[in-house]
Amino acid sequence: MKPTDEQQRRLWEWCDVKFKIVGRCDRRWSAPEGEPWYPGQPDLTLDNLVKWAVPRLESYEIDMTLVPNGKGRAVVRIGHYEPVDDISLRDALFWAIWKVAEKVPSE
């Protein structure tokens, strides 16, 4: 299952990505490193998850395994959470981090 735009936004906010609305409905975001402000929302990529979300998991053990089978099978273990689904490694990592983000408040 792919995360919704709202779930992605909430995870990025947990990672200290800042959002603002310019004008009536022009959404902008800024990475934790600060300016500049970019249009839209950050892409949900493995690179962005590793860059912004994984550092928030410093007290967790992360074990990612990709077993290719056409669709891609991913196993991500963060603490006690072990999703194993026929989903992308990116989505498996997102959902594992999501479970932690639901329990750990943003700073």
Q: From the first residue on, what is the mean pLDDT of each consecutive set of 10 residues in the chain (107 residues)? A: 88 87 79 80 88 82 63 55 63 82 72
SS3 annotation, 17-52: CEEEEECCCEEEEEECCEEEEEECCCCCCHHHHHHH
Helix, strand or coil, per DSSP, at residue 94: helix
Q: Which amino acid is at 87?
A: I
Segment (H or E) for 53: none
- Would you tell me how many other CB atoms lie within 10 Å of the CB of residue 53? 21
Would the pTM of this model clear 0.85, i.e. be above it?
no
Quote the pLDDT of residue 96: 81
